[in-house]
A and B are shown apart, each in its own frame.
Chain A
Amino acid sequence: MLLWLIPAFPLLGFLLNGVIGRRAPKSFVNAVAIGAVAASFLWSLKTLAALWPLDAPRLETYFTWIQAGDVRIGFDLAVDRLSAVMLLVVTGVGLLIHIYSIGYMAHEGGYYRFFAYLNLFMFFMLTLVMAANFLLLFVGWEGVGLCSYLLIGFWFLRSSATNAANKAFIVNRIGDFGFSLGIYLIYIHFRSLDFAPVFAAVSERPVESGVGPLTLIGLLLMVGATGKSAQIPLYVWLPDAMEGPTPVSALIHAATMVTAGVYMVARCSAIYLHAPLALETVAVIGLATAFFAATIGVTQFDIKKVFAYSTISQLGYMFLGAGVGAFGAGIYHLWTHAFFKALLFLGAGSVIHALGEQDLRKMGGLRHKTPITFWTLVAAAVSISGVPFTAGFFSKDEILLAAYHHAPWMYWVGTITAGLTAFYVFRAIFLAFLGEPRGWQHAHESPPVMTVPLILLAILSLVGGLAPVSRFLAPMFPPHEGGHEMHLVVISVGAGLAGIALAWLFYVARPGLAERTAARLGALYQLVYNKYFVDEIYQAAVVQPVIRGARSLLWQKVDVGLIDGAVNGLGARACAAGDVLRRIQSGNLRSYAAWVLLGSFLLLLAAGLAGGAR
């Protein structure tokens, strides 16, 4: 089936563009980059069509990567229903974003570098999604983190961009530390890192009550997921990652890379189902993050930051779905979220391309200047708000219903969050497109190469929910309590519509109402607007002590004192020894004679004592 071709095409694109893209014309760079992703997408479709109905996973082993003792880790790729969904999302949405980037990055320097990095990202993401063992998944995991760093810091002459890239990579690294500890534990307990044997062995075990090895593994893997998928407490890198070009935000920080954590949790469903404590933790973290990020998103003025917090919030929904046992629903939301979130970001990029501005307070009245952007963004907003029969409606309600059956309070918090979601998304749309222009002069609609992907994504955001993703994935996971309580659906839809109405009230009907409410809320508003000062808390509680400790202890005491001291000390001792021995070279013949005498005497003594004279 040649599964390896799927990641190989983007890798080839990366190599070609990276090596000769600099001197090649733009048409060549475009052809290589788009062609690579398109080939990957088509080959994925071909593979899925051939393997339909994918009742059993298809495993292909290529070569042995590590062989040490009785450890064998191979470069193995596998396709089953879960990875099929991921493949379609990654290659399909990725293709649309690549095409969009041709227009968005048209006037940027380093054009070839951008597409080379994007292709490299696709390679790593596809490796992650198709990996058949934990270590190869981790390779893809780390690789997408690397590409995220490279792309966030794409405009590397800007210190804010490089700082954001560093922050993303370092925070991810912290998560990855937990992830690798989880992998070690898996190896220790199961003596293998391949998915099939490990999950089979896990299924043999009893469900743990309390904290056991499986719980520990689940929690550690979740630490990695909080880093990669921007959940509490390691989400802080994602808002800063908006320093990168908007297509990057759309692809990596909305549709694909950040969803890797959800994919991983779904893949390890066997582990989590046998470790209820860990699974509960996943749900709680997801729900808390969803609510927390939504509140921040309500106050932000940078359009990309609003959508960044929205991403964090929606990822929380996905973890909530997985955490209450509805893994299929979580992946379903991943599927729909890829459409409407990528669309939101690409649309924001279109607005930025039109105005050269990111601050919502300086926009307004764009509706007639950029109609395509406006209507496609409305489609996305409608979907994310859960308006009936849009894609977002189906996936979000499935999660909320599953949450209700797990613990009703989770349903209520989720519904309130849904209301907040609708509010902030439509707030952004109303501020940007409706009302009077607030300060800008020229605006033009984006070229077709950018608007066509927007239109396609809008269509997908509206009808993409009709794809029966969670039913498709149902055989992979044990059945959970779903439910179709109509009244719950009505309530959640109502929350979404209420959010839209409130946004209309605050930003269209009564324009000054927002500022007055913010002033009245005073300190509470300031707290939320400043993102609950989490960055500052981390800076003071974690970063500064680490820097101080590294400086005073590790640098001055260990590196300069111990290591340099030892090395320089060796040199100094050698010099000192030389200094002493130099005195023998006095030029005085009689001294020399005395030394010779001493030497011969000692030799004689040695020979005599050893009895060697005979």
Chain B
Amino acid sequence: MSPAGVPLSWYLVLAAFLFTLGAAGFVFRRNIITMFMCIELMLNAVNLTFVALAYHTHQVDGLVLAFFVMVVAAAEAAVGLAIILTVFRNRASLQIDEVQSLRD
């Protein structure tokens, strides 16, 4: 469009929107795997924010942080899916509401 470029705030608003979507999905969905995917969506939104702000501050640190987020998200996905597998093995169900043993 305009050679002046896209205002940075649009990137940030998109990231905020994706974050809110992820939060919404986490609160409202009942399938464990879907909830986990919403977490990944939130992480991606945060990544976008980091990269956009790296552009804004004109420093590479934002990118490095985004990199770390990705690494940690990968590790977390591995362990989390392993947990989901174990839960499924024990309860044969992927509904989050049936996994309520940690109550008082």
The interface size of chain A toward B, counting residues with CB under 8 Å, comes to: 10
Write out the residue numbers on chain A whose beta carbons fall within 8 Å of the beta carbon of B102.
585, 587
**Stretch binding the partner chain, chosen from B61-69, B77-85, B93-101:** B93-101
Bound state CA distance, A505 and B101, in angstroms? 103
B23 touches A (CB below 8 Å): yes
Q: Mark A205-246, 1 if CB is under 8 A from B, else 0.
A: 000000000000000000000000000000000000000000
Chain B residues at the A interface, C-beta cutoff of 8 Å: 23, 26-28, 30, 35, 96-97, 99-104
Chain B CB within 8 A of A590 CB = yes
- Digit string of A552-572 for contact with B (CB within 8 Å is 1, else 0)? 000000000000000000000
Is the beta-carbon distance between B100 and A586 smaller than 8 angstroms?
yes
Interface contact B99-A582, CB-CB below 8 Å: no
B104: nearest chain-A partner, CB-CB: A585
Q: Are B103 and A589 in contact (CB under 8 A)?
A: no
From B27, B30, B103, A597 is in contact (CB under 8 Å) with B27
Q: Which residue of B lies closest to A600 (CB)?
A: B23
> Once the chains bind, are A597 and B23 in contact (CB under 8 Å)?
yes
| B27 x A590 contact (CB < 8 A) | yes
- DSSP majority for the A interface? helix
**Interface residues in A580-600 (C-beta closer than 8 Å to B):** 582, 585-590, 593-594, 597
- Report the minimum CB–CB distance from B23 to chain A (whole Å): 6
Q: Is the CB of A585 within 8 A of B103?
A: yes
Residue of A nearest to B23 (CB): A597
Check A593–B26 contact: CB distance below 8 A.
yes
Q: What chain A residues lie within 8 Å of B100 (beta carbons)?
A: 586-588
How many angstroms between the C-alpha atoms of A594 and B28 in the bound complex? 9
Using known A-B contacts A594-B27, A597-B23, A597-B27, determine if residue A589 contacts B104 with beta carbons closer than 8 Å.
Answer: no
Q: In angstroms, how far is the closest chain A Cβ from the Cβ of B53?
A: 13
Instruction: Write the chain A residue with the least CB distance to B24.
Output: A597
Q: What residues of chain B lie closer than 8 Å to A585, measured between beta carbons?
A: 102-104
**13 A-B pairs whose Cβ atoms sit less than 8 Å apart in the complex:** A585-B103, A585-B104, A586-B100, A587-B103, A587-B104, A588-B96, A588-B100, A588-B103, A589-B35, A590-B96, A593-B23, A594-B27, A597-B27
Chain B: which residue is nearest A586 at the CB level? B103
Q: What is the bound-complex CA distance between A587 and B99, given in angstroms?
A: 8
Cα distance A589–B87 in the bound complex, in angstroms:
14
Given contacts A587-B100, A588-B103, A593-B27, 7 further A-B contacts (CB under 8 A): A585-B104, A586-B103, A587-B102, A588-B100, A589-B99, A590-B27, A593-B26
